[in-house]
Structure 1
Amino acid sequence: MSTAIAAPVDRLLYKPEEAAKALSLGRSTIYVLMAEGALKYIKLGRTRRIRRSDLEAFVAALPPQHN
């Protein structure tokens, strides 16, 4: 009998703190980006969650830096 190890499920929604960790940013920076409308989020009751697709779109929209 083989035991299959389940692959971790990709997270669809992130808490602001988790999004900050995923983007290597501070938690307060995430809240500022949400307040400015630069990072989309949804409200579920009193909590805020950020869709994985919105995190990816935010990163994709960042302008490249040319030195």
Structure 2
Amino acid sequence: MSTPAAPVARLLYKPEEAAEALAVGRSTVYELMAAGALKYIKLGRCRRIRRDDLERYVASLTPQSN
């Protein structure tokens, strides 16, 4: 009896997947990429966002006080 394989940690995200991970809309991710706030790489015609860049972006956000 074989054990199920452990899930592989994702290293690259499509903009749609990054939007889901950040809990924002897809167009917001594209706006962040265009503004340079969220780094991405190009693989051919595809854009991919590294997990480290997503984490760096979130860490750079400033909490708002009420």
- TM (norm. structure 2) is 0.96
| Structure 1 counterpart of 2:32 | 33
What root-mean-square deviation, in Å, do the aligned CA atoms of Structure 1 and Structure 2 show?
0.7
Could you tell which deviates more after superposition, 42-51 or 3-12?
Answer: 3-12
The 2-side partners of 1:37 and 1:45 are apart by 19
The 2-side partners of 1:7 and 1:61 are apart by 31
- Deviation >2 Å, runs of 4+: none
Aligned length: 66
The 2-side partners of 1:5 and 1:56 are apart by 28
| Structure 2 counterpart of 1:5 | 4
The 2-side partners of 1:19 and 1:47 are apart by 14
Among all aligned residue pairs of Structure 1 and Structure 2, give the percentage whose two residues are the same amino acid. Answer: 73
SS at 2:20 equivalent: helix
Structure 1: stretches of 5+ with no match in the other structure: none
SS at 1:49 equivalent: strand
In the alignment, residue 6 of structure 2 is paired with which amino acid? A
Structure 2: stretches of 5+ with no match in the other structure: none
Q: Deviations over 1:14-46 (max 9, x none)?
A: 000000011110000000000000000000000
